[in-house]
Amino acid sequence: MAVVLEVEGLKKKYGSLEALKGISFKVEEGEIFGLIGPNGAGKTTTLRIIATLLTPSDGKVTFLGFDLKKHPEKFREKISYLPEEAGAYRNMKGIDYLNFMAKFYAKDEAEVREFVERAKRICGLGERLKDKVGTYSKGMTRKLLLARALMTKPALAILDEPTSGLDVINSLEVREMIKGFTREGVSVLLSSHNMLEVEFLSDRVALIDRGEILDSGTPQGLKEKYQASNLEIVFRSAVQ
Amino acid sequence: MKNFSHLLIKEIKELVNKQLVISLVFMLFIFNFIGNVTKSEIKKAMAKQKIAVLDLDKSEISKNIIGALNMANFIIEEKSGEKEQVVKELRSSGLDLLVVIPAGFGQEVSNFRPGEVETYSYLKGISMTGSRKSEIVKALLQTTNEFLSNEYLKKKLPDLDPKLLKAPIKSREFVVVRDRMAEGSTSAVIGSLYAQSFILPVILMMIIMYSSQMVITAIAMEKQNKTLETLLTVPISRTAVVMAKMLAAGIVGLLSAAIYMYGFRNAFSFNTGDIAKAMSGVAPILKQLGLTITTQGYALFGISLFLTILVALSLATILGVLAEDYRTAQSLTVPLVFLVLVPYFVSLFADINTMSLPAKILVLAIPFSHPFFAVQNIMFGHLNMLWLGIVYNFLFVVVMLYWTTKIFSTDRVLTMKLKWGKRKVVL
Ligand SMILES: Nc1ncnc2c1ncn2[C@@H]1O[C@H](COP(=O)(O)OP(=O)(O)OP(=O)(O)O)[C@@H](O)[C@H]1O
Ligand SMILES: [Mg+2]
């Protein structure tokens, strides 16, 4: 399988704090790769670097053969990033927001319509798309943002805690949605501290703690290796 | 380019929100209200005024004085009776000025002894109309005095011109500006220049403050709504993101200032008539003195203003990045407002060219100062100072823009923080 994203020896310092101490992993085409780890492990930092928001202190990131330092614009063209805590313009209607974002990625009007149509299907907000974003609940906003991240069919979708703030039913829906999308050729890199969610979603996972990757592999493989019934127990054993 | 204009339109739409429209409409309303009140007050002052006159003398001279009052646009209500009685009576009437000519006034005056006229003003509040009335009466008595004194002199010294007797020195006034000279009154020249340019500092201040506030708000809102991270990952260069915000703020700021000014001028339009009248006499003198602004002058002023707006926008952009939310952004505009107020007040109440050197340097170190003094500098040929200002502001803009785009293309756009209250600054 072709490698979409390759991260090698990534380091990041915030002043004297070493948030990432040299992490490496690969995301292959059409797979869902999950970063799991506790609060402050460095998940968001890793994803922000790949999304061109932060500059790494050291290490190399390659996406579709392009180097992050030399071609950040290539990353922005083909990567969609859903931040951990994100909002949309409160004064815009949901549908206008989708239109606004689609125009940055589409090459013509027809493609804008295609993107927006897809987003409508993904978010399932229906008539509420005609209301201003300011009137949406947290879950509705999250779905809108997820739809906008997936509507362009990016080569890689980076989703930082995609289900944060969603209730059980909505989380389930969103997970199904993400899973469905990879079947259409989109690769996904996501983070979560909900191990069960990651276990359900991911083809492969990396366990991250205090800026280091402890172990990685398929959920099944890891469970067998640590002789555990779920990833939570795997994680506890890996930390020790 | 396509993406840039797309982003620009969104920025402008975000800025032209309910709050802006409401505040503009409110301002126009206030201006209109103040304008109308002032206008009607002035109309009252201009209209025929009613005053009361008690003539206890009934001589030829007292009749002349009443006639003159009549000519001076007053409606005379003649009273009769005891003086004390009339003074008391008027307390509860609508009239607020009483002129009393005592008995024997004509007799005294004819015999070259000072005759007394008494005026009683009834203050019923603080209004301009009341004081204007007594001013007019005073001026009138002054003229009557002049007339009578000329009569005396003619009688006593028939072969001499009374004008010459009273003013043996004749004066001619010249105004010199650099190598040009014209005959005319200095105070008229200054008055007319002032009348032409008094509005300019207000416009400048508003443009600078409006645009800065816009851009700070635009960035802070982006942070508060947590949309900045998403925006920074879309396929558009960081420079374009910054430029779109600054340009949008510049456009909306200029437009708001224009609407504001339009409302201001409209509400206080009676001024222009007076100014035009005062100007017509002075205009040729100004021209002779070279105190008019040429096309080149306007261009220089335009450059100065443009650079200053850029300085304001880039400074405000950095402040906006520092702000975590809308409220912090609002308080961050305070130092900017202060920096604009300094040249504003200096230009209104002081002359920058006669200030002490340290004070002058301090004022001119503020980039916003330069357009405030640009017109004066152009008119009076202080072109060195003008160019110095332009070069200074240009360098300032280059440095600031470089710094702003730098901040936007590194981590700092996300990690720079300043939260009011916690007083935490992380750069
Ligand atoms: N802007 C910043 N300045 C300083 N330190 C930071 C900054 N952002 C993150 N850190 C630090 O870097 C470390 C990793 O943070 P990060 O946000 O990547 O964790 P995370 O795995 O996403 O955690 P969570 O599950 O809570 O979202 C933490 O110790 C955090 O305090
Ligand atoms: Mg995180």
- Please tell me the predicted confidence (pLDDT) of residue B62: 86
End-to-end CA distance of chain A: 33
Give residue-wise pLDDT tens across range A226-236: 898 888 888 88
Q: Which atom of ligand 1 is nearest to the CA of B411?
A: 1
Q: How many cross-chain Cβ pairs, A to B, lie less than 8 Å apart? A: 62
Which residues have CB under 8 Å from B249's CB, separation 6+?
A: B11, B15, B211, B212, B214, B215, B218, B313, B316
Residue A185 in contact with ligand 1 by CB distance below 6 A: no
Task: Give A36 Cα–ligand 1 centroid separation in angstroms.
Answer: 14
B233: closest CA of chain A, how far (Å): 6
The residue nearest atom 6 of ligand 1, judged by CA position, is: A14
Q: What is the dihedral of CA A144, A150, A154, A159, to 10 degrees?
A: 80
Q: Closest-CA residue in chain B for A55? A: B411
Percent of chain B with pLDDT over 70: 91
Task: Give A12 Cα–ligand 2 centroid separation in angstroms.
Answer: 15
Task: Give the Cα separation of A133 and A90 in Å (integer).
Answer: 5
The CATH T-level fold of domain A3-86+155-239 is Rossmann fold (3.40.50)
Residues of B in contact with A105 (CB under 8 A): 234-235
State mean pLDDT over B228-241: 91
- Please tell me the predicted confidence (pLDDT) of residue A164: 85
A169: closest CA of chain B, how far (Å): 25
User: Which one, of B211, B219, B284, lies nearest residue B253 by Cα?
Assistant: B211
Q: Which atom of ligand 1 is nearest to the CA of A12?
A: 12
User: Given CA atoms A17, A23, A29, A32 in this order, what sign does their dihedral have?
Assistant: negative
Which residue has 């805690």 as its token pair? A161
Q: Is the pLDDT of residue A21 over 90?
A: yes
- Please tell me the predicted confidence (pLDDT) of residue B427: 47
Give residue-wise pLDDT tens across range A67-110: 999 999 999 999 999 999 899 999 899 999 999 999 999 999 99
Task: Give A49 Cα–ligand 1 centroid separation in angstroms.
Answer: 12
Query: From the centroid of its chain, how far is CA A103?
Result: 21
Give residue-wise pLDDT tens across range B274-321: 555 555 677 788 888 888 777 888 888 888 888 998 899 999 998 888
Task: Give the Cα separation of A230 and A197 in Å (integer).
Answer: 11
Q: Edge-to-edge strands of the sheet including A187-192?
A: A79-82, A156-160, A187-192, A32-36, A204-209, A212-217
Highest mean pLDDT among A156-160, B22-26, B31-35, B420-424: A156-160
Q: What is the dihedral of CA B229, B235, B237, B240, to 10 degrees?
A: -80
Q: Is the pLDDT of residue B260 over 60?
A: yes
The CATH T-level fold of domain B48-160 is abc type-2 transporter like fold (3.40.1710)
Residue A20 in contact with ligand 1 by CB distance below 6 A: no
Q: Closest-CA residue in chain B for A87? A: B226
Where do the structural domains in chain B lie, given as residue ranges?
Answer: 48-160, 184-426
Task: Give the Cα separation of A9 and A238 in Å (integer).
Answer: 20
The residue nearest atom 7 of ligand 1, judged by CA position, is: A14
Percent of chain A with pLDDT over 70: 100
Q: Closest-CA residue in chain A for B10? A: A100
Name which of A151-160, A185-194, B36-45, B123-132 the model is least confident about: B123-132
Give residue-wise pLDDT tens across range B353-377: 888 999 999 999 999 999 888 888 8
Among A16, A100, A101, pick the best mutation site for testing chain B contact (most B Cβ within 10 A). A100
How high is the mean pLDDT of chain B? 83
Question: By the CB < 8 Å criterion, does B235 face chain A?
Answer: yes
Among B7, B16, B230, pick the best mutation site for testing chain A contact (most A Cβ within 10 A). B230
The ipTM is: 0.92
B234: closest CA of chain A, how far (Å): 6
Residues of B in contact with A77 (CB under 8 A): 235
Question: Taking CB atoms and an 8 Å limit, are B236 and A53 in contact across chains?
Answer: no
Percent of chain B with pLDDT over 90: 16
B123 touches B74 (CB < 8 A) = no
Q: Is the pLDDT of residue B231 over 50?
A: yes
Question: By the CB < 8 Å criterion, does B427 face chain A?
Answer: no
Per-residue pLDDT band for B127 (boundaries 50, 70, 90) equals low
In degrees and rounded to multiples of 5, residue B296 shows phi and psi of -60, -40
State mean pLDDT over B322-347: 86
Give residue-wise pLDDT tens across range A33-72: 999 998 999 999 999 999 999 999 999 999 999 999 999 9
The residue nearest atom 12 of ligand 1, judged by CA position, is: A19
Read off the pTM: 0.79
